[in-house]
Structure 1
C-alpha cells in the first residue's frame, strides 16, 4: 500500500499562524489594489507608457513577493487554508474589477473582436471579407474603425473565438467592456479549476500555484484591462486536463480541440498530449486522436466551405509579416536582412530549431502525470517563444496555467521572470525616447541565463515542494520519489 507523507514542515521546524499568514497576504493584496488603482487613473496607457511600466513592475514585484512568501509559508505550516484561499480569490476578483474600466490603449486586437462580433450578429461571415471591403460599408460607422490598422486583412481568429466575439457583442455592442467582463469571469473559473487540479495532483489546497495564476499582473492587465481572450483558451485546456485526469479521453480531446480552434497556439501541445497517453500505457490514445480529428473537421469545415482558404492564408501572411519583440528570430533577421530571401531563411532556421527542440524534449522525457505534462508544456511553449518572430505581451499567458500547476521549479522561473520583463517592450513601441535594442537586451539576457540554469538544474525546486498526493493519471499512478514516502 502506497502512502504519502503529510509532514509540511519542509525541514524548517518553524510554524506560522494562520492569522499571520492572512495578515501578510492581505497587506500584499491591498498594496496591489493601490497599484492597479493608480494604473487605472493613467487613463491612456500608451500616452503615459513610462509611468505604466514603472507601476506594472512595482505590481510584479509585489506579486512575486506574494508568491514566494506564500510558498514558504505553505511548506512550513499545517493549518487549514480555507480563509487564505478565500482571500486570494477575493483579491483576484477585486484586481479585475479595477481594471475592467481601463481604456485598452496598448492594443488594437479588441477592435477586431468587436468588428467580427458585429458582422456575425448581423449575419455576415467574418472570413469572407476584409474590413475595408466595399460590401461592408454599412458596418463602418463605428468609432474604432478609422484607428484599426489591419483593415486590409482577413480575420485570423478561429471559429470558437468567433462565438465569444458574437456573444460579447450581444452583451455590450461596440464597447469592449463586454469582452473584459467575460474574460474576467472566465479567469475566476480558471482559478477554481487550477485549485481543483492542484488538489488532485498534489493534495490539499495548493495556495502558491493558485496565487501564481490568479494574481499575475500580466494576466490581470492583458485580460481585464486590454480585453485579450487568452483566458478562454486556458479554460478549455484546464477542462481538457481535468477530464484527462479522470481518464475521460474523449471529453479531454474535445476540450483540447475547442482550445485549438479558439486560438491556434495550443496545437503545439498536441504531441505532448499524445506522448503522455502513449507513455501512460496507450489507453485512450486512439479515442483522443479520433475525437480531435473529427471535432476539428466539424468545427473547421463550415469555414473552409464558406470562405475557402482565407483563414489559412491570413495566418500564413501574419506569420511572415508581423514581427514584434522577438529574440532569436530578430537577431537572425538582422544578420540575414541584406539577402533577398533573408527573412524567409530566418523563419526556416528558427522553426527548424523549434522543431528540433520539440523532438528532443519529447524523446528525452517520459510523461506519466499531469505534473510531467505541465513541465514539458512549459518547455515547449518556452522554446516556441524563444524562436518566434513575434512575442506579444499576452503570449506569456500561454505558459501561466502550466507554471501554476508545476510550481516554483527552475523550469518555471525564466517564464515567470519574462511575464514581468515583457512589459519593457511597450517602452520603445510607444515612445521614441527608448532604445529598442537596449531594452530588448534587458528583457532577454536574463531570460537566456535563467533558461540555461534551468536546463542544468531542471528538477531542483526553489522552495520545499508541497507533498504530492498522486501525480499520475488514474490507472497510471506516478510518485515523486524525492518528496514522497512510499510504504508497503
Structure 2
C-alpha cells in the first residue's frame, strides 16, 4: 500500500486516468481487506501504518491538483504585508512590477485562476503565511511546510476519531476506513487540501460538546467556518439541538471565533472581492455534478444554452430549505443523532452542487464513521471516476463515468435511507 501511494503521488499525473484508477482501486481494496480481516488490529498499528504512508509523500509535488501555487502566492503577499483579497494575481503583477520576483512569476505561470480574487478565508491565509515565511522563495519548501501542517492536522483527526469512538462505544477498527482511505491520503496529504483541518475542528466541537464545554464547542465550530465556509450550513442543527439552542456560552464562543476568523475581510474592500469570487465560483464553474447536470441538459433542450446562472440560485434555495426541513424534522436529541443529521445535510448539499471536487467529501465522510451510513465510504471510491476528465485534452467529462459514479452512490443512498423505509412499509402492510 505504501508503494502504491508513493507511486500515485510521485509518478502518475492526473491525466493518466487508467493507471490512477487501477492503483487507487488496489489501495481501496487493500484498506477493506485490512478492515474486514483484522478484527483484533490495535489502533497503534493502524496509526503507524497510516502515518508512515503519509510521511512517504512528504517530498512529493502535487500531481492531482494545481491549487497549491495559489496557496503559496497568497502567503507571499501576506508576508509582504499586502492584502491578498484586494487584487487578482493578474492585476497585482501589472500594478506592482517593482515587487515582482522570478518566484512569484513562476507561481503565476502555474496558477489555475490568476484572474480571480482569493476565495480562501483568513485562517487559510494564516497557514499560507507560515508556509511562505519558511519557504524562503522556494516552492518545494513551501509545499513541504504546508504538508507538514496538514499531517499534524491529520494526526489530530486520528486521535479525535479515537476519543469519540470510545465515547460513542464504537469499534476502533473504524479508524482504518479513514486513516488508510486513499481519497483522504491523496487529497489531504498528497494534494494539500484543507478539508482534513475542517474535519479536525468539527470533531473538536463534538468532543467539547460531549464534555459540556459549550463555549469551546462553539469556538471550534466557528473556526471550522473560518477554515472553509461550508460548516456554516450546520447552524440550523444547533438550533434544533436543545443543548446548544439554549446555551449562551455556545453562541458566544461561536461569535468570537467567527470574528477572529473574518475580521480581516473588513479591511478595505476585502469582503466585496471575497464574496465576488464565491459568487463567480457558484455561477460559472461546473465539475462532477449530478442533479445540476440533469437540470442543465433540460435547459439546453428548452432554451438552447447553459442556464447555470438561473439554476444555481434555485438549487441554493432548495438546499437551504432542505437543511431547514431536515433540522426541524429530525430534532436530534443527542450527539450521535446530531452527527447523523450533519452527514445527511452534507449529502443533500453535495448532490445539488454544480461543483463536487473529490476532497469535498472528506469532512462528511469522517463524520459518517460515527453512524451506520455507508454512502460516503462508497463515494470515496466512486469519486475516482471524476478524474477521467483530466485525461481528456479539453477536460471534457464523460457521461458514462459520471453515470457510474452516481449510480453506485444512488445504490448506497437507497441502502442507507430508503431500504428500511420499504421494510417498514412491508411490515406494516403485512400486519
CA shift for structure 1 position 117: 0.7
1:329-382 Cα shifts (integer Å, max 9, x gaps):
111112113356822332133223323332332233231222112111111001
2:89 matched residue in structure 1? 131
- TM superposition shift of 1:99: 2.1
Which residue of 1 is the match for residue 253 of structure 2? 291
Q: Distance in 2 between matches of 1:378 and 1:270?
A: 14
Task: Tell me the alpha carbon deviations over residues 369-406 of structure 1, each in whole angstroms, 9 at most, x when there is no partner.
Answer: 22112111111001111000100011111212202222
Larger % of helix: which? 2
Deviation of residue 35 (structure 1)? 1.8
The alpha-carbon distance between structure 1 residues 240 and 377, as it changes in their structure 2 partners (threshold 3 A), is same
Contact 1:249–1:288 (8 Å) recurs in 2: yes
Any gaps of 5 or more consecutive residues in structure 1?
Answer: 1-31, 75-80, 461-488
What is residue 427 of structure 2 aligned with on the other side?
A: none
Q: Which residue of 1 aligns with 2:157?
A: 190
Match of residue 356 from structure 2: 391
Aligned residue for 1:274, secondary structure, equals helix
Q: Return the TM-score normalized by structure 1.
A: 0.79
TM superposition score normalised by structure 2: 0.88
Superposition deviation, residue 429 in structure 1: 2.2
Unaligned runs of 5+ in 2: 423-431
Shift of 1:47: 4.2
Does structure 1 conserve the Cα–Cα contact (< 8 Å) formed by 2:238 and 2:244?
Answer: no
Are the counterparts in 2 of residues 186 and 231 from structure 1 also a CA contact under 8 Å? yes
Provide the residue aligned with 2:27 in structure 1.
59
Query: Is 1:364 aligned to residue 322 of structure 2?
Result: no
2:411 to 437, 444, 449: 449
Change (3 A) 1:139 1:401: farther
State the 1:282 CA deviation.
4.7
Q: Mark the CA change 1:136 to 1:269 in structure 2 (over 3 Å): closer, same or farther.
A: farther
Deviation, 1:430, is 2.5
Q: CA deviation at 1:428?
A: 2.2
Question: Residue deviations 1:123-179, cap 9 Å, x none?
Answer: 111111110122343335223321213111110000111111111222334331211
1:104, 1:225 within 8 Å by CA — same for their partners in 2? yes
Asked whether the 8 Å contact 1:275–1:367 carries over to 2, the reply is: yes
Q: Report the Cα distance in structure 2 between the residues aligned to 1:160 and 1:373, rounded to whole angstroms.
A: 26
Q: What's 1:141 paired with?
A: 102
* 2:210 and 2:335 in contact (8 A); partners too: yes
Distance 1:458 1:357 in 2: 21
- Check the 8 A contact 2:233/2:323 in 1, yes or no: no
- 1:450 positional shift: 1.8
Query: Is 1:113 aligned with 2:71?
Result: yes
